[in-house]
Amino acid sequence: MSHDRHFTTRRGFVGAMGFGALGLYVTWAAYGASPLPFASGGDAAADPHGGHAVDPHAGHGAAAPADPAIADTHGGSAVTPETFERRHADFMKRFRQADGSVRPAIAAAAEHDHGAVAAPATMPAGHDHGAAAEAPAAMPGHDHGAAVSAPPATETGGHAGHGMAMPMPAAPDAHAGHGAGPAVALPPLAPLAVSTPAAAAHADGEPIEVFLAAGRFAFEPDDLRLEVGRAYRFHMMASDVAHGASIAFGRASRIVRLRPDTVTTLDLTFREAGRHLVYCTVYCGPGHDGMHASITVA
Amino acid sequence: MTDIAFSFDEADSTAAVRPSLRLAGLPWIDRRLTLVFVALSLVPLALGLGFGLAVVLARGGFLGFEPETAYRLLTLHGTSAFFWWLYLAQVALMIALAAGERREGLAARPLVVAAAVVLVAGLALSEGTAVMLTPLLYDANPDLGRDDPAAVAGMAGGHLLLALGLALASVAAIVTVLRARERETGAMTAMGFGVLAWAGFLIVSGIASINAFLPNLLWAIGRGGFPAHAATEWHILFHNLHYLPLMAMVLTWYALTLETTGTRSAFGASFSKVVFASYLVFVPPTSLYHMFLEPGLSEGVRVAGTLLSLFVSVPTLIAFLVIVSSLELSTRARGAPAGLFGWIGRLPWRSPAFAGMGVAVVATLLGLVFAFVLIQEKFAPLISDTFFVPGYFHFFAVGAVSETFLAGFLVLIPALGGGRVWRPGLMAALPWGVLGGLLIFGAFGIAAGLEGVPRRTFDVAYDGAAPVAWAGLMRGVAIGGAIFGSALVLQVFGVVATLCGVGRGTVAPRRADPAPSEADVVGPAVAWTGPLAVIVLVVAMSGATIGAFELMRSLPIVAVGGHSGH
Ligand code: HEM
Ligand SMILES: [Cu+2]
């Protein structure tokens, strides 16, 4: 190699440019979604959004689900794969209506001791969960609810715990005129809050438990009627082969994969009336095409 | 000293013999064997195209099938196009490049013949099973085949025969390259080294395939317990399976660059060797991101997966830069107009092989823009199982890899068997038609995915419960698919027509152009095009990522941290 090469034709330069995609890391960091080292990952201080320049919202709450205490908190009421089936059956029996729909009510929650007492106390000081739930209200009249979000919990064989959560506030709605909005057959985009179990309990009182089973080729219940503003704790499990559940909001969907022998828990609070398609996301056989349910919020 | 690879480091750096010249000098038997593999790989390609067109038209609502039939078509599409076309084509290219390293041609020739037999049997088994038994999709998850173990056995058997055939051909390629080295100066060319790494990677994947499918097969024939880890083993295998074609693509680019422009790497053989070897370093550890949606994946693994995933692009990007900068330098040295991009016009765009490669480079960059949105663990819950995935990966599978392999064939066939490329003008235009169709398919597909349209679902109306916009988006997907599918059908026809011309006319490869020596090429000359392209790529990737973050924020559920938990 000659020594008077221009720098663009040197190996070192070409080699370094090859790592260019790592520049994406900066974007992730800017959104608080880069695990290390820019964001505080996984510990109780996990609020990578706080005070971030890109983030116009100060009042979003941060769930700090990495706090091991939270796992303890609902450890007491943990739905295990062993108990799921029985509790799902109880749930169906108790809340099924004459028209086939299922309307879970508060009794379900009261039935079990959640040990919710521990929840607020275990949250790190300075995290305002209530504000998180309030965020949608602060949005100028658009139909997006919003919310705190955190990974749903998964309990495999009684093991419960959370990883780091990256709470993110809803941005002001720049999409009011979005094509999909008006075109949606259902009432579009009813707001929903997804939150950690502890945060939901704190904001809305004890969540109502919902048991959703996914089996070839239907969800049970497949016509769920929920109330606006109530916190629901979804326990979900596949009953035969792997399935998935995606809640469609017209502009995107939220997907969880469901396995047999693994209970996935997700807290949801719908903030507006509407009807949502829930569909299976994992190929489970010929009937996969069409495996769906609906959640109607009134 | 063999010189199929371009390397200024080596002794006889002036001899840039085009690959076609070396191939033409191979023993008759090696030339025929390679052509057999070329022909063989076109069978699953043609099948995969036909099934792909049926699938895309069904997804767009233009064709209606019973669900069972629809999933059979999808199983056939994935199995034919992904497993059999992409891997048989690799065997053809790999043995050609390996044989080209050695004046006497292939060593361990019986292994190659055995590979052909095994692969034909495997192809027949896979296709037959997918046509007749329960459609399990190409991963043939045994959970779905509990009621039809024969289907599990057939699919697993097909995949295992594929792995065996690949291993046999790979061993032959390795032995050939090693022998070539011994006989000559003792040094190995960059291409020889690349073939070694590629063949080694194929063998490793073969082992992963055995891990994934042997337990399934044993269970299905009543010789073992139910495979509990099928899903995990499949993930590990599948990760390797979709980078292997990328590595093969890059090696083929090296050979095509030398063939169509007489250009060798301006960065030296040893640098190229490092690039090829880096696939083995960067690919296997990055497999975690496929599992972001799995319940029970720990946060530590998730974080590690996200961090590592960015590295997966490194080998491909460096190879891209080496090739583009080398081309720029040599084209300038031959008097290309000044200015930043004027040299691009001097490239041999009328050559079908070069046009295919050019489209492949563009498609690779397009695919990369979106691949990294999916790789981000925060977006996994939004788009993982949606049409976003097929929407972007066809840029790689079709635009990048398939176009590269077809371009390689258009060099291989005349070099090995004589004859000329069928209607070269049309064949140089078709890759652009494919790219155009892909852009439509990808744009609608990615949009559909972001709006939640699921993949692997034919009737997305869900009894009227789905957003009506979905149907329109999928119609756009189908129109794009029909365009690139038709262009590909014509390309395959052209390759077959070229193959049919074999034997008519003599093998008359062009003489090697005098390649510019290093002194001519590299001096004060600059090569900005490649680096600028990488900068544009990174900006575009960031744009796509920011777009996805903004979409996520605007959702009623703000799916941050979204995965199925701990
Ligand atoms: C020739 C190279 C091609 C390769 C390697 C390839 C590969 C694949 C793979 C691996 C899948 C996933 C299958 C699954 O989800 O089980 C797929 C899906 C699909 N392919 Fe291709 N494909 C190719 C060409 C085509 C063509 C030519 C078309 C249409 C014109 C097409 C249309 C589709 C569609 C629409 C899907 C998505 C189906 C769904 O998820 O519902 N592909 N392809
Ligand atoms: Cu399902």
8 Å CB contact of B384 and A255: yes
Please state, in angstroms and as integers, the Cα–Cα distance from residue B213 to each residue in B18, B125, B158, B219, B279, following that order.
41, 14, 9, 10, 24
In chain B, residues with a C-beta closer than 8 Å to the C-beta of A19 are 311, 314, 317
Which of B294, B385, B558 is the best mutation test for A, with the most CBs of A within 10 A?
A: B558
A85 lies in some domain: yes
A32 and A159 share one domain: no
Identify the nearest ligand to the CA of B84 by its number: 1
Asked if residue A195 belongs to a domain, the reply is: yes
Q: Please write down the HEC assignment for all residues of B89-148.
A: HHHHHHHHHHHHCCCCCCCCHHHHHHHHHHHHHHHHHHHHHHHHCCCCCCCCCHHHHCCC
DSSP string, chain A: --TT--GGGSHHHHHHHTTGGGGHHHHHHHTT--TTTTS--SSTT--TTTT-TT---S------TT-HHHHHHHHTTPPPHHHHHHHHHHHHHHHB-TTS-B---HHHHHHS---TTHHHHHSPTT--HHHHHHHHHHS-S-S-------PPEEEBTTB---------PPPP---TT-THHHH-SSSP---EEEE-HHHHHHHHSSPEEEEEEEETTEEESSEEEE-TT-EEEEEEEESSS-EEEEEE-SS-EEEEEE-BT-EEEEEEEE-S-EEEEEE--S--SGGGTT-EEEEEE-
What is the side-by-side strand order in the sheet with A292-297? A223-226, A292-297, A274-279, A243-248, A253-258
Q: Cβ of B469 and A184 within 8 Å?
A: yes
Sign of the torsion formed by the C-alpha atoms of A1, B103, B85 and B474: positive
C-alpha A258 – ligand 2 centre gap (Å): 9
> Using one digit for the tens of pLDDT, what is the confidence trace for A29-57?
776 655 443 333 333 222 233 222 222 23
Q: Is residue A113 scored above 80 in pLDDT?
A: no
- Between the alpha carbon of residue B33 and those of residues B100, B102, B115, B349, B509, the distances in Å are 13, 16, 11, 30, 19
CB of residue B42 inside a 6 A radius of ligand 1: no
One domain for residues A126 and A37:
no
Instruction: Name every chain B residue with its beta carbon within 8 A of the beta carbon of A146.
Output: 556, 558
**pLDDT at residue number A3:** 56
Does a structural domain hold residue A64?
no
Query: Is the same domain home to A42 and A136?
Result: no
Q: Which residues are paired to B408 by β-bridges? A: none
d(CA A8, ligand 1 centre) in Å: 39
Q: What is the per-residue pLDDT for B235?
A: 81
Residue B485 Cβ < 6 Å to ligand 1:
yes
Q: Does residue A144 share a domain with residue A81?
A: yes
**Number of structural domains found in chain A:** 2
Task: List the CATH number of the domain containing A151.
Answer: 2.60.40.420
Query: Ligand 1: does its nearest atom lie under 6 Å from the Cβ of B145?
Result: no
Separation between Cα atoms, residue B267 and residue A129, nearest integer Å: 57
Higher-confidence position of B190 and A152: B190
Looking at the CA of A240, which ligand is closest?
Answer: 2
Same domain, residue pair A81 and A209: yes
Dist. CA B401–CA B249, nearest whole Å: 6
Whether residues A100 and A217 fall in one domain: yes
Q: How far apart are the first and last CA of chain A?
A: 73
Contact across the interface for B469 and A179, Cβ inside 8 Å: yes
- Do A170 and A25 lie in one domain? The reply is no
Residue A57 located in a structural domain = no
Across residues A121-141, what is the average pLDDT? Answer: 34
Residues of chain B with pLDDT under 50: 1-15, 507-509, 511-512, 514, 517, 519, 557-566
**Among B51, B53, B77, which residue has the most ligand 1 atoms within 8 Å of its CB, making it the best to mutate?**
B77
Q: Is residue A261 part of a domain?
A: yes
What pLDDT does residue A224 have?
92
In a shared domain, residues A112 and A11: no
Q: Do residue A81 and residue A221 come from a single domain?
A: yes
Please tell me the residue having the least CA distance from ligand 1 atom 10: B78
Q: Is any Cβ of chain A less than 8 angstroms from the Cβ of B147?
A: no
**Tokens 């890109």 appear where?**
A54
Comparison of pLDDT for A253 and B44, the residue scoring more: B44
Q: Which residues of B touch A290 (CB under 8 A)?
A: 67, 459, 462-463
Contacts of B374 (CB under 8 A, 6+ apart): B289, B380, B383, B384, B388, B389, B392
Q: How far is the CA of B32 from the centre of ligand 2 (A)?
A: 48
Task: Return the pLDDT at A195.
Answer: 44
At the topology level, CATH places domain B17-228 in Cytochrome C Oxidase; Chain A (1.20.210)
In a domain, A52, yes or no: no
The per-residue pLDDT for B519 is 46
How many A-B residue pairs are in contact by the CB < 8 A criterion?
A: 337
Rounded CA separation B152/B140 (Å)? 6
* Atom 17 of ligand 1, residue of closest alpha carbon: B78
Interface probe with A: pick from B136, B377, B566, most Cβ of A within 10 Å: B566
Residue range of the domain that includes A32: 7-46
The response to whether residue B74 sits with its C-beta less than 6 Å from ligand 1 reads: yes
Same structural domain, A41 and A110: no
pTM, 2 dp: 0.83
The residue that leads in pLDDT, A101 or A129, is: A101
Same domain, A199 and A126: yes
A146·B556 Cβ contact <8 A: yes
**Length in residues, chain A:** 298
CB–CB of B452 and A246 under 8 A?
Answer: yes
Indicate the pLDDT class of residue A107, thresholds 50, 70 and 90: low
The Å distance, Cα B379 to ligand 1 centre, comes to 22
Of B71, B293, B378, the CB nearest to A166: B378
Q: Is residue A60 part of a domain?
A: no
Specify whether the CB–CB gap between B148 and B177 falls below 8 A: no
pLDDT digits (tens, 9 = 90+) for A81-104: 888 989 999 999 999 988 889 998
When scoring A24, A34, A67, A228 by the number of chain B Cβ atoms within 10 A, the one with the most, hence best to mutate, is: A24
The alpha helices in B222-290, defined as continuous H runs, are 230-261, 269-282
Contacting residues of A for B551, CB less than 8 Å apart: 251-252
Tell whether A135 and A239 lie within a shared domain.
yes
Q: How many CB atoms lie within 10 A of CB B541?
A: 24
B-chain CB neighbours of A37 within 8 Å are none
Confidence of residue A22 (pLDDT cuts 50, 70, 90): confident
C-beta separation of B556 from A146 below 8 A: yes
Q: Is A117 left (phi over 0), alpha (psi -120 to 50) or beta?
A: alpha
